[in-house]
Amino acid sequence: MTAPLDLYGSNISYFTGKLENYFRIKGIEYRLHAMRFPGDGKRIQRELGVFQMPVLQLPDGRWMTDTTKIIQWFEAERPAPAVIPADPLVAFISFLLEDYADEWLWRPAMHYRWHYPEGAHFASRHLAAEHFASVPLPGALKRAFMRHRQRSGYTTGDGITAANIDGVEAIFLRLLGQLQAIFEQRPFLMGARPGLADIGFSGPFFRHFALDPVPLEIIRQHAPAVLEWVARLWNTRLADCTTEAPHSVPDDIGLLLEEVGSSYLPYLNANVAAVAAGQQQFDVQVGNVAYRGARYSRYRVWCLAELRRQFEALPPAAGLEARALLERHGCWAPLWQQEELPLLPGQEEGLPFRASTKMVGTNERV
Ligand SMILES: N[C@@H](CCC(=O)N[C@@H](CS)C(=O)NCC(=O)O)C(=O)O
């Protein structure tokens, strides 16, 4: 499998950017193609079960989706140089941080892009030109469609209101303080070498926070070491790294774990309760921030099941260490709070070659 991979997505998309960072540090060649609608949308739905971006086509013709499972598949197929740390505890915490970045930082990233007119103007113009060039409609209509679609799907339609905007922005501002302190000390999240946790964080940062005008200016002013990390990751090849893989989780990662325990996991538990009750929208209080009318996500029920599965697969000694670390930072109890996870039969078992559900519950065919 030496021919370049064909990656279909957008060059301002969260998960496309995450996968590009993975392929680059791993040294895997790919060609990025812009998805063209409506044709590509229908084809992707047919080939993969749901429409989402990015999707990947292997040289043998097979289609793949879901960056988390795509990365795990490539790590198994091409183990060296490894992106998933060899130390089982570091690997487990990296999976947890990847999931947190994928699913929870998505919220402030979408907010900053679509709430502020300069972000919405830039992104809707870019996406309309990238994806709808051949659709014979006026540009203003395509841009208005994009703004409406993204807001009703991911911001105002997913529980973000005037009353909780400060709370959503606080997720980002706290994170910047934590990451600035980390990257003043070392080049990557777990140490001297980039790994899965960095790839996870590249999703929200590479094509959103460090690109969209409003968050980019905040990063420039308040967290320049984070901006450096974004570029450093993009410019690093693991094959050139002579540094050792990390053997322990640095203490300051504990602050990120506290965010996972106090905001992401409580949200996941409320989502489980909503899915179990068949409620397509739900209200949830996360710390002092109240979300009204958040959209349920079957996919994120599976994310919680995956986190538990990763924990249960740890060798006994690493499992004890992981439990102690999770307890210390408020993640242990919420990880197990819901007894039953309302998964669909066989849900996501076809990944990365077939998906059962989308990240947020629209247009699912289950
Ligand atoms: N879990 C998926 C999530 C992919 C995803 O949700 N991508 C967004 C764009 S960056 C998307 O396609 N959303 C579907 C839509 O807006 O209809 C992954 O890791 O690839």
Residue 248 CA to ligand 1 center (angstroms) comes to 32
Atom of ligand 1 lying closest to residue 149 CA: 16
Q: Name the one residue in this structure whose structure tokens are 């949200």.
A: 267
- Percent above pLDDT 90 for the chain: 96
Locate all alpha helices (DSSP H) within the chain, ordered by sequence: 14-26, 39-48, 67-77, 88-103, 106-115, 117-131, 139-154, 165-185, 196-204, 213-222, 224-234, 253-259, 265-276, 298-312, 316-328, 332-336
What does the domain layout of the chain look like in residue ranges?
Answer: 5-77
Residue 358 CA to ligand 1 center (angstroms) comes to 7
The residue whose CA has the least distance to atom 14 of ligand 1 is 52
CATH fold of the domain at 5-77:
Glutaredoxin (3.40.30)
Q: Is the pLDDT of residue 80 over 50?
A: yes
Atom of ligand 1 lying closest to residue 53 CA: 12
Residue 203 CA to ligand 1 center (angstroms) comes to 11
The 10s digit of each residue's pLDDT in 152-167 is 999 999 999 999 999 9
The residue whose CA has the least distance to atom 7 of ligand 1 is 53
Q: In Å, what is the CA distance from 105 to each residue of 12, 145, 188?
A: 16, 24, 18
Q: Which DSSP letter does residue 37 get?
A: T
The residue whose CA has the least distance to atom 11 of ligand 1 is 52
Q: Provide the pLDDT for residue 362.
A: 55
* Band (365; pLDDT cuts 50, 70, 90): very low
User: Contact 284/266 with Cβ under 8 angstroms?
Assistant: yes
pTM equals 0.97
Measured from CB, residues less than 6 Å from any atom of ligand 1 are 13-15, 51-53, 66-68, 102, 153, 358-359
- Give me the numbers of helices (H) and strands (E) for the chain, helices first please: 16, 6
Written as one letter, the residue type at 361 is G
Q: Are strands 30-34 and 5-9 parallel, antiparallel or unpaired?
A: parallel
The 10s digit of each residue's pLDDT in 84-130 is 999 999 999 999 999 999 999 999 999 999 999 999 999 999 999 99
The 10s digit of each residue's pLDDT in 174-197 is 999 999 999 999 999 999 999 999
Q: Is the pLDDT of residue 344 over 80?
A: yes
Average pLDDT of the chain is 96
Residue 244 CA to ligand 1 center (angstroms) comes to 33
Atom of ligand 1 lying closest to residue 68 CA: 19
Residue 186 CA to ligand 1 center (angstroms) comes to 31
The residue whose CA has the least distance to atom 20 of ligand 1 is 66
Structure tokens at 14: 């969260």
Mutate to test the pocket of ligand 1, among 53, 100, 202, 208 (most ligand atoms within 8 A of CB): 53
